[in-house]
Structures are given as C-alpha cells and as structure tokens.
Amino acid sequence: MSGDNLYLLSALPTLGELGSTPPMTLTRLLEQVIEGGENRPLLEALLLSDDLLQRQAFLSGELDEVEPVVLTAPQARDEEPLPEYLVSSEDTASQPAPDDLWALYYRYAANTATENRNSFLSEWVGYEVGMRNALVKARAKALNLDPQEYLVVPDIGSAKEDFSKVINEWTAASDPFAGLRVLDEARWKWLGENDGWFTFENDELVAYGAKLMLLQRWQRLSRDVPAQTEKARAN
C-alpha cells in the first residue's frame, strides 16, 4: 500500500506536539481516504474510539455537543441504536453498559486489524486495553476491590508494556485534568515510538490518525474543562 499512501501522507499537514492546535479535523482526514480502500476501515476503527469517548462524556453531562466521525450524531447522543457490531446478543433490549461497550469496541478494532493485517492498529488496541486495565487495578487497589470484576478484554491487552511508572504519575497528579494529561503524554510517547515514520504503509497513516485524534481530544478538553469548572462553581 506504500504507493497508495505516498501522496496522501506527503500531502497531510505536519502535526505539532501534544496540546497544539490540530491542523485539520478528523472528518477531513477521513474524507482524504478513498472510499473502499483497505486503509479506510482501519482509520474508521481507530477514530470510532473518540466517538465513543464523546458519547460517554455527553451521556454523563460532561460534554454539551458531540462531533462524531464514524457514528452519527444521534447515535453519539444515544438517540439511535449503535451499529450492530457494538451491540451483543444480550443487549438487544437495551444499550450495553459502558464497560461492555468498550469490550465490544476493542474486539471490533482488534478483529479489523487482523482482517486487514495491520500490526499498528493491533498493537494500539493492546496498548489501550493494557493501560485501561492498569488503571482499573490501581483504582480497585485504592478501594480494596477485586479488579478481576472490572477488567475489560484482558486477553488482548499488551503483555509487554509496563504501566507502573505512568500509573504512579497519574496517582500523584494534582487534579483529574492533570491526570488525563499524564495518560495522554504516555500515549503520545508510545505513538512516536511506533508510528512507522516514512514507511508510507497503512501503519503510518493510522498512527497519524491516532496522533491527530489526541490533538483534537485535547483541544476539546481545553475548551470544555474550564466551562465545566465554571458551571460547578455557579451551582
């Protein structure tokens, strides 16, 4: 696929560091990818994670508006059913619980990576699951709970990553926003180490999407967290 990606990756704007302004939207990135091309389902599987984060934040009252890329806006607002691959047979009468939904998502993304022989997406899923479950274990330990009841698809989590340092920094963070920054800085570092730079393969394109997704997430957080803080003070 290097020939197909050569022009696209060469034409994409350079990304700044974490916290910088995104040079384009996720929607615009997806529009650049040819419909029916093998890299499109990879990008869609990746970007769906941000749609689900927005959906979760919207339903909890942390986000006033949603700007999904893969889901429709009504799906992200829980006004329409989610795609079938995000609903298990046990959830036919209702929407899945948050942990169950993420389990379905990670399985879907991992299967998409396998079907398209994409090592980056597969490793990204493993990293995300590994970090999520490391956080679960830390929270469970603090609350004297059994973490096994809260782990999400542990069988596909990365076994080679050591999250102890980032978990310690997250635990010591001064506030939740600082804690999120710790986690996303670790994600950004991992992306830089695994982005397939100048290979012009699908791995590099999906890694670009993952970095752009983090930049857009931080633009959203920087806009919405102060507003939420002000709202809490007013109440």
Helical ranges in 60-163 per DSSP H = 73-76, 98-115, 119-142
CA distance 147 to 56: 22
Reading the chain (235 residues) residue by residue, the pLDDT tens digits are: 455 677 788 889 999 999 999 999 999 999 988 765 778 999 999 999 999 999 999 999 999 999 999 999 999 999 999 999 999 876 544 556 889 999 999 999 999 999 999 999 999 999 999 999 999 999 999 999 999 999 999 999 998 899 999 999 999 999 999 999 999 999 999 999 998 665 667 899 999 999 999 999 999 988 866 554 444 444 4
For position 190, what pLDDT does the model report?
Answer: 97
CA distance 40 to 131: 26
The answer to whether the beta carbons of residues 106 and 129 sit under 8 Å apart is: yes
Q: In 3D, which of 51, 58, 37 has the Cα closest to residue 83? A: 51
Angle at 15 between CA 121 and CA 211, to 5 degrees: 25
Residue 53 sits at φ, ψ, to 5 deg, of: -65, -45
For position 4, what pLDDT does the model report?
Answer: 65
The answer to whether the beta carbons of residues 188 and 156 sit under 8 Å apart is: no
Predicted TM-score (pTM) of the model is: 0.89
CA distance 225 to 232: 11
The answer to whether the beta carbons of residues 20 and 38 sit under 8 Å apart is: no
The pLDDT tens digits of the residues spanning 191-209 come to: 999 986 656 678 999 999 9
